[in-house]
Structure 1
Amino acid sequence: MIAKTKHAIGITTKNGTEILIHMGLDTVDLNGLPFDVKVKEGQEVKKGQLLVDMNIEMIKKNGKDPTVIVVLTQPDKILNNKTYNVANRNTPIGKIGNAAN
């Protein structure tokens, strides 16, 4: 799923885990201008592949917050072993596991 305003992308992994990537707070108001989506809906993506270029300066200039939120949309999934490092965009943010584990 790619939002019409390009501020959010939904991904379903091969094992069925659903992930929502929401780029910025209230950025829907910017009608997609700060986002250059590099993938198409339904396209298979690979680890490390660029999904979207996000113009953080444009977002800030328009008085919006550039925070990116990653959400597991299924209640039985959790994010384990958080290792996120903002200094390295290629650092994994963690491993997805079942809430029962």
Structure 2
Amino acid sequence: MLRRRAARIYDEQLDLSRPIPWESEEERQAAIAFFNAAFRALAGAYAEHLGRLFVHERDLDFAPPELLLRLFGHSRRSLAMSDHPSAVSVLSAEAGSTASASS
């Protein structure tokens, strides 16, 4: 069933030059809520991981804007105190290459 659905989605041609035709206002509102939630989650993770990267990797010589961090519930201080490495740090990359080499 999932393969049929994936094939249908893959082959579907969307005309993005026109508004999406919704079956109902309720369907449209549900889609908006879904995509807004996904955007908030992705934007929050993006702010956290990039903020942590820039705070911990001083050679990048970049400081994330404090206001942006605060909008997502972080601060330079809290990210600096975290010993959790950024997902995109050198330490994480080395850990990943070590783990894949042992597999």
Q: TM-score, normalised by structure 2?
A: 0.21
Q: TM-score, normalised by structure 1?
A: 0.21
Greater strand proportion: 1
Higher relative contact order (CA 8 A, sep 6+): 1
Greater helix proportion: 2
